[in-house]
């Protein structure tokens, strides 16, 4: 039972001249949290303040998950704003499934832990005329860079966008701007220091659905800059659950799934503006297919300027260049899906070794192959993709035989039949669907 009774959404304030949004929360109006977000780019003069305030409110509620989870108070109250019935359902769903891994890791039964109330009627989303152009969020890894290169080849002008990017992004961003013909937009988000202090003293901690917070931040950005389309780079493979816990599917990547994407699209159109389009440009593709596209179209520009290893983004290990630790599940996964498409010597050089031969990673590979109770809690692809990739490179990397030797003839038949190039359901507008489905080099 929490020592705090109430989680309070205290206030949010936008200081236009400083380009700063301040989000305030508390436990029992006694322990206070203040998060700041700086929109470090030029605004258009005639942005819709009404739409922006609606987006800020959504962000206010979504970002609150980082603080709520530290104690899980039984009551949630709003001192500023409130939720209607449909908003309540949306936030209860993303809080529940977005904190699934957190509940599992902390051995908490999620039943009854999310208690939003609906107290208001909300107006329909506002019209925002003259929106045009695209915004592409950049995370430093292969997926967003694949989107960049595919879109650049269509001669589409777009802006790139990062949150809390540091020096390691500079060369990558410079090249993206050469390809895009657009600007690069930066956001600086600072978590409330009080939360970090509570974490040091034993507050509940764990994974939050960061992509859902980024989704709201991206909507705020396009309103401020007059863009219309937000192209994330989440793939079909993100839909696969990590494991089950107390009857609920747990997915480390829930806020990257097609289910969340559609829910968020509906939220934006219903409560912010139907003129804004949020979607994933890579949703039809598996991770293995994206790896092939990345090597085919982006490797020349970015092979030395990308990384998906999360060690690049920890608070305590800041570097001014991209690196691969070669020890984590993400490195093991990316090494595997790149292995069919990159020369062996080049891949080993990039990762600092042959990861298939690293005995310390053996258990990780078994988990990624679905040979253990659960997949790693990481942004990794489907089990079948891992199996397909290893079978494809069994002559190139003989070390994989130890991992796939236990597969039955039925397993190998399924792997043989698995078409990693199959295009899966998506939620993108027709114009972008036409481009993705008819793309030619």
296-311 pLDDT, tens digit each: 999 999 998 999 897 7
Question: Is residue 168 over pLDDT 70?
Answer: yes
426 in a structural domain: no
432 in a structural domain: no
Average pLDDT, the chain: 94
Residues 261 and 330 in one domain: no
347 in a structural domain: yes
Distances 383 to 247, 323, 371, 415 between C-alpha atoms, Å: 21, 25, 9, 10
- Mean pLDDT of the region 181-202: 96
Question: Is residue 320 over pLDDT 70?
Answer: no
Q: What pairs with residue 189 in β-bridges?
A: 37
* pLDDT per position as a tens digit, 365-424: 999 999 998 899 998 999 999 999 999 999 999 999 999 998 999 999 999 999 999 999
Cα torsion angle, 159, 50, 267, 89, sign: positive
CATH number for 50? 3.40.50
CA pair distance 175, 178, nearest whole angstrom: 5
Residues 244 and 317 in one domain: no
Residues 190 and 250 in one domain: yes
Residues 293 and 403 in one domain: yes
Neighbours of 183 (CB within 10 A): 14
Structure token pair of residue 428: 């993108």
Question: Is residue 163 over pLDDT 90?
Answer: yes
Residues 373 and 260 in one domain: no
427 in a structural domain: no
Q: Quick one: pLDDT band at residue 312, thresholds 50, 70, 90?
A: low
Question: Under a CB-based contact definition with an 8 Å cutoff, are residues 6 and 27 in contact?
Answer: yes
Question: Is residue 276 over pLDDT 90?
Answer: yes
Question: Is residue 109 over pLDDT 70?
Answer: yes
Q: Quick one: pLDDT band at residue 36, thresholds 50, 70, 90?
A: very high
Question: Is residue 117 over pLDDT 60?
Answer: yes
Structure token pair of residue 299: 């490797």
- Mean pLDDT of the region 324-352: 96
Rg (the chain; Cα; Å): 22
Range(s) of the domain holding residue 345: 287-417
Structure token pair of residue 118: 């609906």
254 in a structural domain: yes
Q: Quick one: pLDDT band at residue 118, thresholds 50, 70, 90?
A: very high
The residue out of 240, 263, 280 marking a domain boundary is 280
Question: Is residue 342 over pLDDT 50?
Answer: yes
The residue out of 259, 280, 301 marking a domain boundary is 280
Residues 21 and 148 in one domain: yes
Structure token pair of residue 50: 């009404």
184 in a structural domain: yes
Structurally, the chain folds into a number of domains equal to 2
Residues 174 and 150 in one domain: yes
Residues 185 and 149 in one domain: yes
- Which strands make up the sheet holding 229-232, listed edge to edge? 75-78, 6-15, 20-27, 31-40, 184-190, 158-163, 134-137, 229-232, 277-280
Question: Is residue 211 over pLDDT 90?
Answer: yes
The residue out of 246, 280, 314 marking a domain boundary is 280
431 in a structural domain: no
Instruction: State the pTM of this model.
Output: 0.95
37 in a structural domain: yes
CA pair distance 276, 24, nearest whole angstrom: 27
3-state secondary structure of 183: coil
Closest C-alpha to 81, from 274, 271, 278, 270: 271
Residues 319 and 386 in one domain: yes
Q: What is the Cα 166 distance to its own chain's centre?
A: 18
- Mean pLDDT of the region 41-68: 97
- What is the model's pLDDT at position 315? 46
- What is the model's pLDDT at position 316? 44
- What is the model's pLDDT at position 1? 57
CA pair distance 57, 37, nearest whole angstrom: 13
CA pair distance 48, 52, nearest whole angstrom: 6
Residues 60 and 208 in one domain: yes
Residues 309 and 170 in one domain: no
Question: Is residue 136 over pLDDT 90?
Answer: yes
Element (H, E) at 32: strand 31-40
Residues 140 and 11 in one domain: yes
Q: Quick one: pLDDT band at residue 317, thresholds 50, 70, 90?
A: low
Q: What is the Cα 367 distance to its own chain's centre?
A: 22
């Amino acid at each position: 039972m929490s020592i705090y009774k109430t989680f309070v959404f205290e206030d949010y304030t936008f200081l236009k001249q400083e380009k700063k949004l301040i989000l305030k929360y508390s436990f029992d109006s006694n322990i206070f949290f203040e998060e700041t977000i700086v929109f470090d780019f030029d605004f258009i003069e005639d942005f819709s303040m009404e739409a922006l305030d609606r987006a800020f409110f959504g962000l206010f509620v979504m970002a609150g998950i980082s603080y709520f989870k530290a104690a899980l108070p039984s009551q949630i109250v709003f001192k500023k704003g409130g939720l209607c019935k449909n908003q309540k359902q949306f936030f209860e769903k993303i809080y529940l499934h977005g904190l699934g891994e957190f509940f599992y890791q902390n051995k908490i039964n999620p039943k009854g832990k999310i208690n939003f109330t609906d107290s208001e009627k909300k107006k329909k989303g506002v019209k925002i005329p003259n929106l045009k152009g695209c915004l592409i969020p950049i995370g430093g890894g292969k997926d967003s860079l694949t989107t960049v290169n595919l879109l650049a080849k269509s001669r589409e002008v777009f802006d790139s966008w990062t949150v809390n990017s540091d020096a390691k992004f500079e060369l990558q961003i410079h090249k993206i701007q050469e390809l895009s013909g657009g600007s690069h937009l930066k956001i600086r988000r600072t978590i409330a220091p009080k939360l970090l202090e509570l974490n040091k003293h034993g507050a509940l901690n764990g994974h939050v659905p960061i992509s859902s917070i980024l989704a709201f931040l991206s909507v705020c950005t396009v309103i401020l800059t007059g863009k219309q389309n937000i192209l994330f780079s989440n793939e079909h493979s993100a839909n696969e659950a990590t494991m089950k816990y107390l009857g609920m599917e747990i997915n480390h990547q829930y806020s990257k799934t097609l289910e969340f994407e559609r829910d968020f699209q509906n939220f934006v159109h219903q409560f912010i503006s139907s003129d804004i389009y949020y979607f994933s440009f890579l949703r039809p593709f598996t991770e293995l297919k994206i790896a092939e596209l990345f090597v085919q179209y982006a490797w020349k520009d970015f092979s030395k300027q990308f990384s998906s290893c999360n060690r690049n983004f920890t608070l305590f290990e800041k570097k001014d260049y991209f690196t691969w630790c070669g020890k984590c599940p993400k490195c093991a996964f990316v090494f595997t899906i790149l292995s069919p498409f990159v020369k062996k010597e080049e891949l080993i050089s990039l990762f600092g070794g042959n990861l298939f031969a690293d005995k310390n990673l053996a258990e990780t590979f078994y988990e990624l192959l679905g040979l253990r109770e659960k997949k790693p809690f990481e942004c990794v692809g489907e089990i079948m993709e891992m199996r397909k990739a290893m079978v494809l490179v069994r002559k190139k990397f003989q070390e994989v035989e130890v991992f796939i030797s236990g597969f039955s003839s039925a397993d190998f038949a399924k792997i043989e039949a698995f078409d990693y190039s199959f295009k899966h359901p998506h939620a993108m507008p027709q114009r972008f669907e036409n481009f993705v489905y008819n793309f030619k080099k």
